Structure 1
């Protein structure tokens, strides 16, 4: 097994650095150009979601690269996600995703949040009257059907706590291969990582740099004095230090930048190895800050989550 790959519990091989394609600008041309550039740099793992609005751009760029012989379909690992308004029928939702992307299958399909919304909701910030009770057994049955039909090669979840994962494992015929969650030096997720390791579920880190440049992101990770001092010591960048720390925890990282220099910089984290003492230094950082907290999924009337602690099961 190469050091830049991980084998999942379903046998799939996945590159440990993935390129995220979320952009609040929803600019198809710039997304396609960024994906094409990433492919030339050697990126082979790409992450999208229906709610991101980037499925068409990612599919278009990948299909063009495949047609031009730049990459084979089997060399690329593609992830998309089931939005809350599609929990009632994951099969139809994934079929629509495949139509949008112009693909026969994707490699990984994730339940984006443990939140079920009314079928017509298409806004990333749902209104108070747009929630429905979460029926995770029904949702997961649909996810398993997607796998059975060959629409995807693996299924998993995103933003699930230990408790929600255990609940899922209690009835799932196919266990989730991945739990994609926020993780970075300021939000280390040790309890969740330990639980997932014991259950053979791979943790994939989104916002491994804290999400700078996103509407909800922060520069707190890459501006931390310890991270910056280690970057100076290694003649690296703060981003590379943060990513190297994440990779040292046997997780994959989803990085999102359309800037050529930063894309190259992010991939360069694979060549940086922190010393054990340095990893422990970061582990011991007192700061803990979850940036994407999910307040939009909490309300006192229609949501199953009345508080953030309900959503995260006191893991926040």
Structure 2
């Protein structure tokens, strides 16, 4: 099945599929990585072409292996058929560490370039700290100008075809736009019917920045997630009336908002179901019901708050966009 695509503002000639597979995890066990490689191959076979990873996930090497296997078994002819996103983590959020971090990610994935490279979170960690142990004493402010200038160099060199951010507020994006020669093409954020990001979407649209939605189903199984999506009586009612699943209703809603959707199913049947959102639509009445749902951000980022760090409260992280 052909997934609709969009062109980013970055000038990247390759279109970005609006639906892709996210490879995030906090615990990349050998068993998980094996199942992830299998899921990527099944996704490619079904028609998925966009895959989202990050250095923090420690799944880049496994994604590279899946890509190699997909080429060798004829599922795709070359890596160029795929749209690959990766992200730089807090320990490398320094002007002189951005390019080396991307080069390491490319080596791990055995790729010459990524289609998209994002700043994962707007904060840095002290040099030498353990990037996978979020110790509040290690958090320090990020010099966004030096980091973004280095991100621009990554795109100029062709190692990243487009660059962007993740978990950035309107204010933090404005800080970049004040000096950027290449503006962010993407802002990847939590977005779903229970957290619709109306203000941020409006701001990004006005500035030519596309929203990519992670946790489009609320990340109900994560330690910070919410069941407000999958257990919504409104969404359940719409799903029953249309003969769809609640997940399909939530994903269709996101698609109709004009955003890119990053999902995380590693189950072939779920991968198939997620592809079945493009040939039908929500009625105006159904869309209005979803628009009226109570709103609550699930991922507040409590682990990044400290008395000594750059963010001393949830309001600091999200600039009051709660």
Relative to the length of structure 2, the TM-score reads: 0.94
Is residue 6 from structure 1 mapped to residue 6 from structure 2 by the alignment?
Answer: yes
Q: For residues 161-183 of structure 1, give each alpha carbon's deviation from its aligned partner in whole angstroms, at most 9, with x where no partner exists.
A: 00000111001110000000000
1:75 is the counterpart of 2:105: no
Q: CA deviation at 1:42?
A: 0.6
Structure 2 residue 301 is the aligned partner of structure 1 residue 294: yes
Q: How do 1:266-285 and structure 2 match up within 5 A?
A: 266-285=274-293
Specify the SS of the correspondent of 1:219.
coil
1:50 is the counterpart of 2:58: no
For the pair 1:32 / 2:40, whether they are aligned, the reply is: no
Q: How far, CA to CA, are the matches of 1:25 and 1:304 in structure 2?
A: 27
Q: Distance in 2 between matches of 1:197 and 1:185?
A: 19
Deviation at 1:40, TM superposition (A): 0.6
Q: What runs of 5+ residues in structure 1 fail to find an aligned partner? A: none
Change (3 A) 1:135 1:169: same
Between the aligned partners of 1:82 and 1:138, the Cα distance in structure 2 is 14
Distance 1:49 1:269 in 2: 27
Instruction: Say whether 1:22 aligns with 2:27.
Output: no
Q: Quick check: 1:112–1:158 contact (8 Å CA) kept in 2? A: yes
The answer for the alignment partner of 1:161 in structure 2 is 169
Structure 1 position 177 matched with structure 2 position 185: yes
Distance 1:122 1:152 in 2: 26
**After the TM superposition, which residues 80-229 of structure 1 pair with which residues of structure 2 at under 5 Å, given as runs?**
80-88=86-94, 89-229=97-237
1:306 maps to 312
Query: How far, CA to CA, are the matches of 1:111 and 1:127 in structure 2?
Result: 20
C-alpha distance in 1, partners of 2:281/2:151?
37
- Change in Cα spacing, 1:265 to 1:82, as seen in structure 2 (3 Å) is same
Question: Are the aligned partners of 1:109 and 1:152 in contact in 2 as well (CA < 8 Å)?
Answer: yes
TM-superposed CA distance for 1:282, in Å, is 0.4
User: Which residue of 1 is the match for residue 252 of structure 2?
Assistant: 244
More off after superposition, 7-16 vs 30-39? 7-16
Distance 2:124 2:100 in 1: 16
Which whole-Å CA distance do the structure 2 matches of 1:120 and 1:56 have between them?
22
* TM-score, normalization by structure 1: 0.96
Stretches of 4+ aligned residues off by more than 6 angstroms: none
User: Structure 1 residues 5 and 201, CA, compared in 2 at 3 Å: closer, same or farther?
Assistant: same
Task: Report SS of the residue matched to 2:277.
Answer: helix
Shift of 1:223: 1.1
Shift of 1:124: 4.2
Report how far residue 73 of structure 1 moved: 1.8
User: Following TM superposition, by how much is the alpha carbon of 1:290 offset from its aligned partner in structure 2, in angstroms?
Assistant: 1.0
| 8 Å CA contact retained: 1:24, 1:214 | no
Cα separation, 1, equivalents of 2:58 and 2:280: 33
In 2, Cα distance between the equivalents of 1:75 and 1:164? 33
CA RMSD, 1 decimal = 1.4
1:127-163 Cα shifts (integer Å, max 9, x gaps): 1221222100011011111111111100000000000
* 2:269 is the counterpart of 1:261: yes
1: CA distance between counterparts of 2:280 and 2:243? 10
Q: Distance in 2 between matches of 1:122 and 1:144?
A: 26
Matched, 1:315 2:313: no
Give the CA deviation at 1:245.
0.6
**CA shift for structure 1 position 125:** 4.8
**Residue 171 of structure 1: SS of its match in structure 2?**
coil
Alpha-carbon distance between aligned partners in 2 of 1:215 and 1:75, rounded to the nearest angstrom: 34
